[in-house]
Amino acid sequence: MIKLVRVDHRLLHGQVAFSWMNSIGGDCILIASDEVVKDEIWKTTLKLGKPSGVKLVIKNIENSIKALNSGVTDKYKLLIVVQTIKDVARLVEGCPQITTVNLGGVKDTEGARQISKAVFVTKEDEEILKNLIGKGIEVEIRQIASEKKIDARSVL
């Protein structure tokens, strides 16, 4: 069961590993990233950062979608983390069971504007988010679980 889908360019770090996993009662983290799956050093680093007793799976976006739709992940309380808004849009497109997206950290890039303490969006990102919202997806902004939700519609 998907408990949280999060966009965070840092992927797995203290906030994700502890704050969110404790908050959602999660037992498995799925890193969905076309880049990480090809990088052995990055994968090793991520494995070191996971909480003990939590399963960590790293797949590319396409294989993540296949796994989520096959039912193989249903037995887990799953936190899914992607790096970019483009990646989350691909995941949502392929997995109709995803109804909420958390924006936790989107790095500043040229031409991006800041919409929260740790979320910067380009015009393309804004269009993607508006499209998701238009399809009925809740898009909320929070770095850690204890923070108050910010509805992305209010800042776009």
The CATH number of whichever domain residue 69 belongs to comes to 3.40.35.10
In tens, the pLDDT along 126-135 reads 999 999 999 9
Is a pLDDT exceeding 80 seen at residue 15? Answer: no
Exposure string (b/e) for 127-142, b if CB count within 10 Å is 16 or more?
A: ebbeebbeeebebbbb
pTM of the full predicted structure?
Answer: 0.96
Cβ proximity of 85 and 121 under 8 Å: yes
The whole-number pLDDT of residue 30 equals 98
In tens, the pLDDT along 18-73 reads 889 999 999 999 999 999 999 999 999 999 888 889 999 999 999 999 999 999 99
- Average pLDDT estimate for 79-106: 98
Is a pLDDT exceeding 80 seen at residue 75? Answer: yes
Domain count of the fold of the chain: 1
At 10, give phi and psi (nearest 5°).
Answer: -85, -10
Q: Which domain holds residue 98?
A: 2-154
Average pLDDT taken over every residue of the chain: 96
Is a pLDDT exceeding 80 seen at residue 12? Answer: yes
> Considering only CA atoms, which of 137, 142, 145, 105 is closest in space to residue 25?
145
